[in-house]
Chain A
Amino acid sequence: MFGHPALRLLFWMKLRGGLRLQVRKLRRPSSWIFLLIGLVLAGGWIALMIFGRSIGAVPSVEPSVLRFGVEVGLTVLVVLTLVGAFQYRGLYLPKEEIELAFSAPVDRSQLVRYRLGTNLFRSMFAALLFGFLTARRMPHPVFAFVGMFSMMMTIPILGQGLALLLGAGENRLAKVARKFPLRIVSIALGALVGYGVVLLMTSDGERMPFGIGDSDSLFTQLAENPVVRWVLLPVSPWGRIITARSTAEFLPWFAFVAGVWILLYELVVRAKVDYRELSLATSAEVAKRISQARRGGWAANRSRVMQPTKSSGAPWIFGRDGFGAIAWLETTSMFRRARGTLILSFLLLTLLAILSRGIGSGGDDPEAEARNGLIAGTMLISLLGTAYLCAGLKFDFRGRLEQMDMVKAWPLAPWRIFLATILPESMLVSVFLLVTILGRAIWAGTYHPLLVGVVLFQPLVVLTWVALDNAVFLHSPVRYAPGQESALQNMGRSIVLMLLRGLVLLVAVAVAFAPAAGVGFLVRYALGTSTTTAVAVAGGVGWLGLIAVDCGLIWLGGRMLDRFDVARDRGV
């Protein structure tokens, strides 16, 4: 399975080494705690996937419709894998293996065997998971498990076959393939798979959700369409195994797919393709992506830099001293990297504004409904927009991990470096949200004094959010990346940090607004003023309180930056 004996040895040594590394990382009690939390989370998720709401529920639909649904799911999985193969053109080998593997006295087909063996070993876990997930919901659990398992073990071979084919014909196919909008196709198909999993998990055994299985549903009509049947034909044998109800139905098709597996495996292994050049390019690309993910995370701060032009330079709006220079650096980075993200964000916010326009319509009192709609819509845009934009941009310390040596050497007080780094992003997010919120209000033709409050509070709320995110990140930089070691520990640690962040946010809000509530109460009931006056005074106190909280967070961020250890905190 793993080809040359040395490659087999390498596989087992790497497996043993990975386990050894995990054990070495468990020296501190905190690592055990994080691992435990990660295990509970991962275990819970897997249990939810397998058992869902319906333990042992079999959808009560016609066998042909059931098989059709299964085959659609399998086809999507196959297409998704084949699309993924475009990202791993040639024979993907990690950067630490590729030079050695290609210069070693090993036949190239042995390298393909080794890679396929590794891929199949990895796929086995997903195959088991999908197998169990399917087994609980099909007429015969064993047949369903075997069918799904064999499909999942065939897909990697198909993917590798296509990846190698892309290297044939002097890479001409690979060049053409680059022009396809693969990311969009992947996202759409990924959404379909997710939808399928939700369907499987939410089916109650009595009736499939969304009318699937009803005789007049679009799903049923599609199942009978001859063109669709032809499209699904390649996965039909696996569909038949998964939905088999008797051994007589199962066995012939199982023999068939076992034969297909062996044939496909041998064909791929013996393919006469010189994949070296394409594989080197793929390995370098993947190494770069992994390195970026480990250092900078997945956000706009890692998008491709556009070519600088006169118009792409950012203004020095925060002064020309050290503080202004740092802020300018972040602003320029956003201008040159985040245009696509900003355009997408603008479209999403516009969509959110349009959707939130519907809130509060249709009531008896149009004025009250419009006011309530304005408040609800504003809150929705403010909260969702803050969370989405701050997570999507990350033009702050979360994108500067690889340059922390340099950052630490800057001749400014840590709190000033911290503020200068987070200020441009906070301002940009605030401007985006305020434009959306005010634009929505103008479009709806509704005014409410709340809007004044939003204009005053929104920038502070964003600053609080970003400052807290960055302070926590500087305290404990954790990121997910493909192939990351200690993924379970990191998952556990992330959850703990998220809870910590929520706690700090709650305390900050309490510190800012508890005095405001007290002052408002006093003004309203001790001094006997109107509610409007009391709310305005309380708002003013709350605003000052939030400024005080932000000052505290900036100080805290400065402290975290000061204690950040570039030798230790590497983000993985």
Chain B
Amino acid sequence: MDSLNSALPTAAIGRRDALVVEDLSKEYENHRAVEGLSFRAVEGEILGLVGPNGAGKTTTLRSIVGVLPIQHGRIRVCGHDLVTEEVAAKSRLAWIPDDPQPFDTLTVLEHLHFHAALYGIRDWKDRADQLLERFELTEKRDALGGELSRGMRQKLAFCTAWIHEPGLVLMDEPLSGLDPRAIRSAKDEIRRLAQTGTAVVLSSHQLDLIQELADRILIIDRGVKRFEGTLREARTSLALGDEKSLEDIFLTATDPGPATDRPPTGARLE
């Protein structure tokens, strides 16, 4: 556990862990999707998860939220073990998949009602109204799930994830399908959520988004961790100049050439 602390920025040290992943491995019938992955996220932190297609990002996220069973390793959410205290762990997290699928026959407001019930929130109506207002869905409160556009579905997913004030939110490509105004609004909301103490794990191919929002980044490639730390640490590790962007870091860290011969490292690239 201590070894992971070295990957945290100074400001984060002392805050409680919202997510601890230790030695997570996941194997499908014909290939290993994730291998020995360990990382953590603390309260109020935004962790950017990046990696090429097929790197194991979605598998990692789906394992953390309990959609996929854990084959090997350990996951703790807000202090609760995902295997032994599954319900308690899940009650502290929220999951926004890459293509949220609302219920065709339920209205937007009914989705919020259902989610509130799912997480045991009694006084949900005021909060639902606030969320609908913030995500510009007030006019759509009576629209059916099947009538929503891709962007609207995404906004609804934000609202349902926010309704129970989770300790950890995991998002897979959360801004796809949103228009520029909605993207700005969603980014503000993610920041605001983190400021309230919620840890956010943000997986995306939009590297500029990760660079803008994330406190730290986690780069994985072919199921193996390539780097975990801040942008500054990444530049230092990879001997890149201060002007280099996350895109440069990403391309260097996941270079399929000689770099792939490098053994995977724990907290950072050597």
Nearest-Cβ distance from residue A355 to partner chain B, whole angstroms: 46
Name the residue on A nearest B89 (C-beta).
A105
Beta-carbon contacts under 8 Å, B16-37 to A: none
Indicate which residue in B90, B97, B101, B103 contacts A104 across the interface (CB closer than 8 Å). B90
With A17-B110, A102-B67, A104-B90 already in contact, the answer to whether A6 and B117 are too (CB < 8 A) is: yes
- Cα–Cα distance between A6 and B117 once the two chains are bound (Å): 5
Nearest-Cβ distance from residue B155 to partner chain A, whole angstroms: 16
Does A216 interact with chain B (Cβ within 8 Å)?
no
Indicate which residue in B88, B102, B113 contacts A105 across the interface (CB closer than 8 Å). B88
- Cα–Cα distance between A277 and B90 once the two chains are bound (Å): 18
Does B144 interact with chain A (Cβ within 8 Å)?
yes
- Which of B91, B97, B117 has most chain A Cβ within 10 Å? B117
Does B93 interact with chain A (Cβ within 8 Å)?
yes
Does B238 interact with chain A (Cβ within 8 Å)?
no
Contacts of A9 in B (CB 8 A): 113-114, 117
Name the residue on A nearest B92 (C-beta).
A105
Q: A96–B102 contact, CB under 8 A?
A: yes
Q: B68–A10 contact, CB under 8 A?
A: no
Contacts of A21 in B (CB 8 A): 104-105, 144, 146
Does B65 interact with chain A (Cβ within 8 Å)?
yes
Contacts of B239 in A (CB 8 A): none
Beta-carbon contacts under 8 Å, A230-277 to B: 274, 276-277
Contacts across chains A and B counted by CB atoms under 8 Å: 81
How many residues in B have their beta carbons less than 8 Å from beta carbons of A?
31
Nearest-Cβ distance from residue B81 to partner chain A, whole angstroms: 14
Beta-carbon contacts under 8 Å, A410-429 to B: none
Does A224 interact with chain B (Cβ within 8 Å)?
no
- Cα–Cα distance between A102 and B110 once the two chains are bound (Å): 20
Contacts of B118 in A (CB 8 A): 4, 6, 104-106
Does B87 interact with chain A (Cβ within 8 Å)?
yes
- Cα–Cα distance between A103 and B86 once the two chains are bound (Å): 10
Name the residue on B nearest A96 (C-beta).
B101
Nearest-Cβ distance from residue A290 to partner chain B, whole angstroms: 12
- Cα–Cα distance between A104 and B160 once the two chains are bound (Å): 12
Chain B: interface secondary structure?
Answer: mixed
- Cα–Cα distance between A96 and B146 once the two chains are bound (Å): 11
Contacts of B89 in A (CB 8 A): 105
How many residues in A have their beta carbons less than 8 Å from beta carbons of B?
28
- Cα–Cα distance between A99 and B101 once the two chains are bound (Å): 9
Does A285 interact with chain B (Cβ within 8 Å)?
no
Does A107 interact with chain B (Cβ within 8 Å)?
yes
- Interface flags, B195-238, vs A, CB<8A=1, else 0: 00000000000000000000000000000000000000000000
Beta-carbon contacts under 8 Å, A97-111 to B: 97-100, 102-107
Q: A277–B68 contact, CB under 8 A?
A: yes
Indicate which residue in A5, A98, A274 contacts B69 across the interface (CB closer than 8 Å). A274
Q: A13–B69 contact, CB under 8 A?
A: no
Contacts of B79 in A (CB 8 A): none
- Cα–Cα distance between A13 and B144 once the two chains are bound (Å): 12
Indicate which residue in A4, A17, A106 contacts B103 across the interface (CB closer than 8 Å). A17
Does A95 interact with chain B (Cβ within 8 Å)?
yes
Does B95 interact with chain A (Cβ within 8 Å)?
yes
Nearest-Cβ distance from residue A254 to partner chain B, whole angstroms: 37
Q: B104–A103 contact, CB under 8 A?
A: no
Contacts of A105 in B (CB 8 A): 87-91, 118-119
Beta-carbon contacts under 8 Å, B107-130 to A: 107, 110, 113-114, 117-119
Contacts of A95 in B (CB 8 A): 101
Contacts of B68 in A (CB 8 A): 276-277, 280
Nearest-Cβ distance from residue A282 to partner chain B, whole angstroms: 14
- Cα–Cα distance between A276 and B101 once the two chains are bound (Å): 18
With A105-B118, A105-B119 already in contact, the answer to whether A96 and B69 are too (CB < 8 A) is: no
Nearest-Cβ distance from residue B11 to partner chain A, whole angstroms: 30
Known pairs A13-B105, A96-B145, A99-B67. 7 more at Cβ < 8 A? A13-B114, A21-B144, A95-B101, A103-B93, A105-B118, A106-B90, A277-B69
Which 7 pairs from chain A and chain B are nearest by CB? A17-B105, A105-B91, A96-B101, A6-B117, A6-B118, A103-B65, A105-B90
Could you jot down 8 A-B contacts, CB within 8 Å?
A6-B114, A6-B118, A10-B103, A17-B104, A21-B146, A98-B67, A105-B89, A106-B90
Name A residues whose Cβ lies closer than 8 Å to a Cβ of B: 4-6, 9-10, 13-14, 17-18, 20-21, 95-100, 102-107, 274, 276-277, 280, 485
